[in-house]
Amino acid sequence: MDIKFIDGGVCAPQGFKANGIHCGIRKNKDKKDIALIVSEKIASTAAVYTQNLVYGAPITVTRNNIADGKAQAMVCNSGIANTCNADGIEKAEAMCECVAKNTQIKKEDVIVASTGVIGQPLDIEPIEKGMPELVKGLNVNGSDDAANSIMTTDTQKKEFAVEVEIDGKKCKIGAIAKGSGMIHPNMATMLCFITTDVAISSDMLKKALTLTVADSFNMLSVDGDTSTNDMVSIMANGLAGNSEINKEGKDFDLFVEALKAIAIKTVRLMAKDGEGATKLVECSVEGAKDEQTAKVLAKSVICSSLVKAAMFGSDANWGRVLCALGYAKVQLDVTKVDVAFVSKAGRIEVCKNGAGIEFSEDLAKKILLEDEILIDVKLQDGQAKATAFGCDLTYDYVKINGDYRT
């Protein structure tokens, strides 16, 4: 299957426009703080949400709005999370009404999201005043502005698009995302907005998104904190002209693979851009008895504070990897565990059958000094495998989060 990465972000698929501006939620006028994505026609829609029992008002409103599996627009502000506020639902609904008043889109067909500080009230006035400008500026090249508008502590925008042929038609999927800290999805704990011109039913779209999330966003952790607000949503407007995907089969599988490709690309950048991070740290577990075991073990390794700190210090402390595997609460035969560290500087085996082996500390240091590290774990217990995505733990993480609110 030929999946090609292309430019254009959420505007790459046919029939989508986007924009992002500074409307006044943030004090810093140089930072855009509200984004809008619209489809020229109503779209099949699906979303997955945080499982934190403390969740933002926009999630409640979005759940209600897309209960019928349809939407036509997405609006998101940054700076204020609209969580733990007595008037939160009222404000989230007001954001949808702002979109409706300035477009031909029904307020019930709007996905709404917020990201930023928890517990501070969201002032709706800047959004109401800024919406005409935001709508007027919607354009087919607006993905970049939208991507920048949803960033908080991110240092890099997250914006990707792919093209794949389905049913003889060129189909495109685009995505923008934000996420740098407070990331430990159980779905989800960041924002990701996906668009596609694929024709697919709402039910199959939800199934495709659920399958994708399981291997991408739910295999990501920056700091072990599951956020309150965030979601991954997707709109599919069908303008590519393929026969509607309404059941499993070849076309559905092609779509899922393309969706996973863009999701994993997004997740890797989220991990690498983790708050204060200097390295992307991946853990690949192979030879597990089943996929769930592989996933639990891989995520346990990249979530370990001690492993993360060792990666920051470029220290080949493989004992911390075994420790993290051992407390993952899944069946594990430690006498079958092999561990290696890998980067573009090379590969070094450090553990064989659960025991240390001689290796060059100098070579290990050279490998771990790179900015993308793979911890390769082999279990010799089956055929299943999984990969988790994380980052190192640095002094700057504490600095960023020590005064995030003030």
Structural domain boundaries in the chain: 4-272, 280-402
Asked if 212 is an active-site residue, the reply is no
Confidence (pLDDT) at 229:
64
What digits encode the pLDDT tens for the residues 240-286?
A: 999 999 999 999 999 999 999 999 999 999 888 877 889 999 999 99
What digits encode the pLDDT tens for the residues 324-365?
A: 999 999 999 999 999 999 999 999 999 999 999 999 999 999
Which of 10-19, 110-119, 269-278: highest mean pLDDT? 10-19
Q: Are 72 and 79 in contact (CB under 8 A)?
A: no
Confidence (pLDDT) at 184:
47
Stretch (H or E) spanning 278: none
DSSP reduced 3-state for 14: coil
What digits encode the pLDDT tens for the residues 122-161?
A: 999 999 999 999 999 999 999 999 999 999 878 889 999 9
Q: Are 392 and 301 in contact (CB under 8 A)?
A: no
Fold of 4-272: L-amino peptidase D-ALA esterase/amidase (3.60.70)
- Tokens for 96, please give them: 């949808």
pLDDT band at 186 (very low <50, low <70, confident <90, very high): very low
- Tokens for 131, please give them: 């919406």
Q: Are 404 and 180 in contact (CB under 8 A)?
A: no
Catalytic one of 83, 115, 189, 196: 189
DSSP reduced 3-state for 29: coil
Note the Cα 43 to chain centre separation in Å. 21
- Tokens for 73, please give them: 């627009």
For 280-402, give the CATH class: alpha beta
As a whole number, the mean pLDDT across the chain is 92
Closest of 166, 168, 171, 130 to residue 149, by C-alpha:
130
DSSP, residue by residue, 159-183: EEEEEEEETTEEEEEEEEEE-SSS-
| Distance (Å, whole) CA 55 – CA 46 | 18
Angle at 381 (CA atoms; ends 219, 212), nearest 5 degrees: 25
Residues 51-74, buried b or exposed e (16+ Cβ, 10 A)? ebeebbbbbbbbeebbeeebbbbb
Stretch (H or E) spanning 260: helix 250-272
